[in-house]
Structure 1
Amino acid sequence: MKKIFMIVFIVLFAFAIVIAGIGYSVSAPGYSGEPSGNFDGTKFLNGEGYEEKSSRELIKWLLTREPGKWTEKTEADVTFGKKPANRISDSSQVITYVNHSTFLIQSDGINIITDPVYSKRVSPFSFAGPKRMRPPGIKFEDLPELDYVLISHNHYDHLDINTLQRIKEIHDPVFITPLGVNLYLNRKGISKTIHLDWWQEHSVNDSVSISAVEAQHFSSRGMFDRDKTLWAGFVIESANGNIYFAGDTGYNKFFKRIGKDYAPVKTALIPIGAYIPRWFMGPVHVDPAQALQIHKDIGAGLSIGMHYGTFPLADDGEMDPINDFNAIVGNENFILMKEGEFRVVRNN
């Protein structure tokens, strides 16, 4: 009996070592700097009112999941959007929805892409993890020359390193990240990076700037890098109208500050999915009702939904965000777009 116990112990210990080794190998390097309002010298912090979920609560969710229905679509099932223009040089904004949180933003003669994800899974592994359920709406080879890439945080459904390396090789743009996320990109051969803290600004040229703004979320790619890098939204400011990209976020009072500090927000890109169950997802993912409230808080002229319909990340099914959103949106100028669809927002 003692021999059996020792064998079981050794097997379990070896398994734990392997898991820890994998967890360490995929963890991202962390930011180092002086403590600040959102950094305690070791990890980043959300604002007042945030309640972090524990490992115990994570296990509870994983053991009691009731995932909704998804239907996988292949390239044969969809129609790709038409190839975008090379540049938009007039006073309009052209916003193209690629998928999930990926938008091509074209304005002021500048091309910007947000959280680009073209991989088939959002995971450290090619054989496991959340699987793509529909193709991107714009073919990768149809993307125009890219000048800037905005990365909201380091989760796999927002920082897809394979896609970023492809973009770097073909377009060689500047990558703008929250604090510390740049270190992982640098490790992976992407050197043209700029990192920003909340409320910091990067000047693109005399008429365009990009600022990082507060979001309520968390960061990690492995077992040993929880909250070691920052998460953020972004505001693109220009004479053609300000554009707000929310990234991934829960709801809090800072949205009113964004609306005040960057008024008027002409176009906003706001998440609506991965919100069920609320007891677990609520602190880090807004639901459609909260997304609508963000639209109102920031005073957006037009808002476009994102972060739904591509990857099954929570228990909401493919159609849940759409159905819940349509039930409450009313006459608000907040829309959902199909992958590959674009919207021209004119400067009236």
Structure 2
Amino acid sequence: MGPKRFCGPPCTISELPPIDAVLISHNHYDHLDYGSVLALNERFGSELRWFVPLGLLDWMQKCGCENVIELDWWEENCVPGHDKVTFVFTPSQHWSKRTLMDDNKVLWGSWSVLGPWNRFFFAGDTGYCPAFEEIGKRFGPFDLAAIPIGAYEPRWFMKYQHVDPEDAVRIHIDVQTKKSVAIHWGTFALANEHYLEPPVKLNEALERYGLKSEDFFVLKHGESRYLNNDKAFEET
């Protein structure tokens, strides 16, 4: 159930390295896949900590997940034994729905991950809103942000829930991140623009704002990139 895919996942859950935490932005099917939750829980069990929005705890527990932390906006928590890294659930502009009867009963949001040497921001699914400037003031500058660039047409309908590439650049600026990686494009059939259009529009927006493509870059599906902004980043 859920939207169709243009391409498959770049790896299987069995191919993942050991992980300590999973961050959930909201409960839409393209961001919270039931089968993936079951598979992750089967592999990692209670050692894996799930950070989820307010209202999602019961659903996660029904999936068999035991180590679940439910947070409201601006609340924070950490993984036991790794208390130098703080996970803060931060605002975004979106909505939630998984069945016919549960409109907006689960919160949605973004995540700010604050470490001793580096900081990471995950925007989740969102329209553009003033919250990002506040996030930047509280927790910036970030070393890396993951910001959506796709599923934005028709604009009159999508603008409140999905940023377009220009709004994505505004988020990049607002949260004060050194680098951003584009997400939420070319994977699911969600909107009217061609699925390969977002990277083109992103480069156009970056040029208008006087930014370089390496400041806010696009990866091919399955591609990885090593970032080395400074000595501290290299060591983490």
- Identify whether the pair has TM-score above 0.5, normalized to the shorter chain: yes
For residues 129-278 of structure 1, the aligned pairs below 5 Å read 129-172=2-45, 173-204=48-79, 205-278=82-155
Work out which structure has the larger RCO, using CA pairs closer than 8 Å and 6 or more positions apart in sequence.
Answer: 1
- After TM superposition, what 4+ stretches of structure 1 lie above 6 angstroms from structure 2? none
Secondary structure of 1:153's counterpart equals coil
Q: Which residue of 2 aligns with 1:337?
A: 219
What is the CA deviation profile of residues 297-318 of structure 1, one whole-angstrom value per residue up to 9, with x for unaligned ones? 1111000000000101111221
Output the amino acid matched with 1:174.
Answer: R
Superposition deviation, residue 346 in structure 1: 2.8
Q: Are the aligned partners of 1:234 and 1:245 in contact in 2 as well (CA < 8 Å)?
A: yes
Output the amino acid matched with 2:71.
Answer: L
Output the amino acid matched with 1:212.
Answer: F
Superposition deviation, residue 206 in structure 1: 3.3
Tell me the TM-score normalized by structure 1. Answer: 0.62
Secondary structure of 2:226's counterpart equals strand
Output the amino acid matched with 2:156.
Answer: W
Query: Equivalents in 2 of 1:203, 1:136: separation in Å?
Result: 28
Q: Which residue of 2 aligns with 1:299?
A: 176
Q: Are the aligned partners of 2:87 and 2:114 in contact in 1 as well (CA < 8 Å)?
A: yes
Output the amino acid matched with 1:316.
Answer: E
Output the amino acid matched with 1:237.
Answer: L
Superposition deviation, residue 347 in structure 1: 5.4
Larger radius of gyration: 1
For residues 15-54 of structure 1, the aligned pairs below 5 Å read none
Output the amino acid matched with 1:244.
Answer: F
Q: Are the aligned partners of 2:13 and 2:40 in contact in 1 as well (CA < 8 Å)?
A: no
Q: Are the aligned partners of 1:241 and 1:347 in contact in 2 as well (CA < 8 Å)?
A: no
Tell me the TM-score normalized by structure 2. Answer: 0.90
Q: Which residue of 1 aligns with 2:234?
A: none
Query: Equivalents in 1 of 2:77, 2:229: separation in Å?
Result: 23
Q: Which residue of 2 aligns with 1:88?
A: none
Superposition deviation, residue 322 in structure 1: 1.7
Q: Which runs of 5+ in 1 are unaligned?
A: 1-122, 124-128
Superposition deviation, residue 345 in structure 1: 2.5
Q: Which runs of 5+ in 2 are unaligned?
A: 231-236
Query: Equivalents in 1 of 2:116, 2:9: separation in Å?
Result: 30
How many residues are paired up?
221
Query: Equivalents in 2 of 1:233, 1:340: separation in Å?
Result: 23
What is the CA deviation profile of residues 226-270 of structure 1, one whole-angstrom value per residue up to 9, with x for unaligned ones? 000100110110023110001100101110111111122110000
Q: Are the aligned partners of 2:13 and 2:39 in contact in 1 as well (CA < 8 Å)?
A: no
Output the amino acid matched with 2:64.
Answer: G
Query: Equivalents in 1 of 2:61, 2:11: separation in Å?
Result: 27
Percent identity of equivalent pairs: 40
